Chains A and B, each alone.
Chain A
Amino acid sequence: MSVAIIGTGHSRFGARKDVNVPELAWEAIKPAMQSANVDQKEIDFMVVGTAGLWSSEAAVPPLLYEYGMFEDVGSMRVEAACATGNAAIKVGYTAVESGEAEVVLVVGLEKMQESPNPTVIELIGRFGSYFWEFENFGLTFPGYYALHATAYMAKYGATEEDFAKVAVKNHFYGAKNPNAQFRREITLEQAVNSPYVAWPFKLFDCSPITDGSAAVVLASEEKVKEWGVEEKIWILGQGVGTGTANLSRRDSFTSLKSASYAAEVAYRKAGIDMGAPYRQIDGANVHDCFTAAEIIAYEDLRFAKRGEGVELIREEQTYIGGRIPVNVDGGLKSKGHPIGATGVSQAVEAFKQLLTRAENGRQVDVRNGRYLAHNVGGTGHYTYVTIYGLEKR
C-alpha cells in the first residue's frame, strides 16, 4: 500500500530557551495536524524520534500524548543516533504500509540545549564504540568524521578550503530559511579562519548544537482517496543500512558503507536509475553534520563518481541550477541539527520543495517530482535514505 505525507509542521531551530520539551514539540505537531486536517481521534499511532540524554524528559511519547490530549493511540520512542528522525518515519511508514495503521503522526524532537555544551560534546562523543574508542581515546563527534575527512584529503587531494565551500553554500541557503538556526551568509575567509575543533575540521565545518522539532502526518492511500487529500507527497522508497560500531572494523574511511547500501536499496525501490540518479531527482537533503560528510554523501548517493564529489562543490554543481541542488534549506550546518528532528525536518523540506512552497531564492526547479533525504546516524552507524515523490509509484 502506498503511503503519503499529508501534513507537516516545523519549529524554528536554534537555542530555544523560550520553550520546554512538550511546548517545542507542539510547535511542529499543531501545524502538522492542522495542515493534514486531522484531529487527535484520527491518529492511530504516534512515533516520536528523540535521542535524549541531554534533555530532562525521558518518557517523551506519553508526555506528548498528555500535552496534546491524545486518546487511544499506540506510541513508541525511536532512536538511531542522528538518523533518529528518518528512523521514526520508517516506523510510521511500515505501520501504514502493512495496513496496521491508517494515519500516523511522526514527531522528531530534540532539546539539546537543556544541558551545557561541554556535556553535549561528551555525550555525542560516546555515539561510537564506547569502550574501544571513547573510554581511552576520547574521540568526539567531529573527531569521528575528521578521521574520514583526513582520509579523503589524502586519497583525493581535497583541501580544507574545499570543505569550507560546503559551509558557504549551506549558509547561503540557510540565510533564506526562516526556521534556520544561523540565518546569515558566511564568507570562505570566515570559514577557513575559524578555530580548529578536530583537525582538519574548524568551527565552521561543524553543525551546531540545536533545539528543534518537526512533524509529519502519514496516511494510507485509501485515506488519501477517502478524504480527497490534494496536497501530499508519497514515500517512494526507503533504504536502511548499518555500519560497525568501531571505525577500526571498516574497510574504508572515504565512504560510508551503510549509506552506499541504503542508497542502492532506496533507488531500486523507487525505480531510479543507479547510473545517474541525479537526473531523476530534483534536489536532495544530505546529512552534512560536517562539511566533508556532505562531499562523501555526494559519492555514496552516486551524484558523483568516487573521488569526484569534491569537484561538485568546487564547480558549484550542488547550488540551485547545478547538477543537483543539495541542502538548500541550509542543511544541518546552517539550519541546525536537533538530532531527533533532523530526519523529519528533511521530510518537511521535501514536501515544501515538491509542492513549490520554499522561500524566495531557495526553491528548486521541480521537473521530475522527486526529492531525496539522506540521514546518517553516528558516523555511518545507521543510514536512512528516503525518496519522496509527487506521484506514487
Chain B
Amino acid sequence: MEDLKKAAETNIREYGFPVAIDEKSGALQWVDMRDLTVKYIISIENIQNFFEGLKEGKLLATKCKKCEELFFPPQKDCPRCMDEDMDWVELKNEGILETLTVIFVKPPSFATYDPYTVAIATLEDGVKVTAWLNGDPKKVKPGQKVKIEVSRRKEGYFMYEIVPVEG
C-alpha cells in the first residue's frame, strides 16, 4: 500500500492524477485519496459489573433469577423468561481446555503482538470462555486442566486469560 501511495504522489506531479500501475497485471489503478479510520464506541452500561469483577480478579456472569440460566458473555436479558431480573455470579475459575490456535498472520490492529494463542475452555460451571492462553501452546492439548486468571494487558487494561494447570 505504501508503494502505491508513493507512486500516486509521484504521478500526481508527473501524470496529473493519483494513479499507479499494478505490478502483477500492469493494469492502471486509481489510488484512493480518502482515508477512513474506524473506531467504535460500544455501550457497556448494562455489564459494568463484569468489569468491576475483573478489577478484583473475578470472572463474572449473569444468572437469571427465575430459570437460573448462566450467561457468559454476560447478558442483560433472559430471553427464555422474557425477564431481566439477573444476579451477577462469580464463575468457577477452573476448567478444561477445549481447543486452541496460534495466530501467526495477525490483523494489523494486533501487529505489535508476537504470535498469540487463542483458546476456548469449559469452566466447571459448564460455561465456555474464549481468551488468550498464557503458556506454551506446544505443551498443552485439548482435555487438559486450565484456570482463568486476570492480568493487565500490554496496553495497561485488565483482561482475563486462560492459564494451563501443571500435572
Interface residues of A (CB under 8 A from B): 15, 17-18, 56, 116, 118-119, 121-122, 125, 129-134, 136-140, 142-143, 146-151, 154-155, 195-201, 246-250, 253
Residues of B within 8 A of A246 (CB): 73, 130
In order of increasing CB-CB distance, the 10 nearest A-B pairs are A146-B101, A138-B110, A248-B128, A154-B142, A122-B107, A199-B102, A151-B99, A17-B22, A17-B27, A116-B1
When chains A and B are docked, how far (Å) is the Cα of A144 from the Cα of B40? 22
A143 contacts B128, CB within 8 Å? no
B129's nearest neighbour on chain A, judged by CB, is A248
Contact of A253 among B22, B73, B99 (CB under 8 A): B99
Give residues 53-108 of B contacting A (CB, 8 Å): 72-73, 98-108
B117's nearest neighbour on chain A, judged by CB, is A199
Interface check B51, CB cutoff 8 A: no
Give residues 106-152 of B contacting A (CB, 8 Å): 106-110, 113, 116, 118, 120, 128-132, 137, 141-143
A150 contacts B142, CB within 8 Å? yes
A-B contact list, 5 entries, CB within 8 Å = A122-B109, A125-B107, A131-B42, A154-B99, A154-B141
A132 contacts B1, CB within 8 Å? no
Residues of A within 8 A of B102 (CB): 196, 198-199
Contact of B107 among A136, A138, A195 (CB under 8 A): A138
B40 to chain A, nearest CB (A): 8
Interface check B159, CB cutoff 8 A: yes
B104 contacts A199, CB within 8 Å? yes
A146's nearest neighbour on chain B, judged by CB, is B101
Residues of B within 8 A of A139 (CB): 103, 118, 130
Interface check B25, CB cutoff 8 A: yes
Residues of A within 8 A of B11 (CB): none
When chains A and B are docked, how far (Å) is the Cα of A246 from the Cα of B131? 12
Residues of A within 8 A of B42 (CB): 131
A137 to chain B, nearest CB (A): 5
Interface residues of B (CB under 8 A from A): 1, 22, 24-25, 27, 29, 32, 40, 42, 72-73, 98-110, 113, 116, 118, 120, 128-132, 137, 141-143, 153, 159
When chains A and B are docked, how far (Å) is the Cα of A330 from the Cα of B103? 26
Residues of A within 8 A of B107 (CB): 118, 121-122, 125, 134, 138, 140
B108's nearest neighbour on chain A, judged by CB, is A118
When chains A and B are docked, how far (Å) is the Cα of A150 from the Cα of B144? 14
Given contacts A56-B32, A151-B142, contact A196 B73 (CB under 8 A): no
B130 contacts A137, CB within 8 Å? yes
B130 contacts A198, CB within 8 Å? no
A138 contacts B100, CB within 8 Å? no
Contact of B99 among A119, A125, A140, A150 (CB under 8 A): A150
Residues of A within 8 A of B132 (CB): 136-137
When chains A and B are docked, how far (Å) is the Cα of A195 from the Cα of B104? 9
When chains A and B are docked, how far (Å) is the Cα of A241 from the Cα of B159? 33
A199 contacts B101, CB within 8 Å? yes
When chains A and B are docked, how far (Å) is the Cα of A53 from the Cα of B162? 33
Residues of B within 8 A of A146 (CB): 101
Residues of A within 8 A of B118 (CB): 137-139, 143, 147
Residues of B within 8 A of A133 (CB): 130
Contact of A119 among B40, B103, B108, B131 (CB under 8 A): B108
B101 contacts A247, CB within 8 Å? no
When chains A and B are docked, how far (Å) is the Cα of A198 from the Cα of B131? 15
Residues of A within 8 A of B143 (CB): 154
A18 contacts B27, CB within 8 Å? yes
Residues of A within 8 A of B99 (CB): 147-148, 150-151, 154, 253
A140 contacts B103, CB within 8 Å? yes
A310 to chain B, nearest CB (A): 16
Which of B1, B103, B120 has most chain A Cβ within 10 Å? B103
Residues of A within 8 A of B106 (CB): 121, 138, 140
Residues of A within 8 A of B141 (CB): 154
B116 contacts A138, CB within 8 Å? yes
A203's nearest neighbour on chain B, judged by CB, is B105
B75 to chain A, nearest CB (A): 10
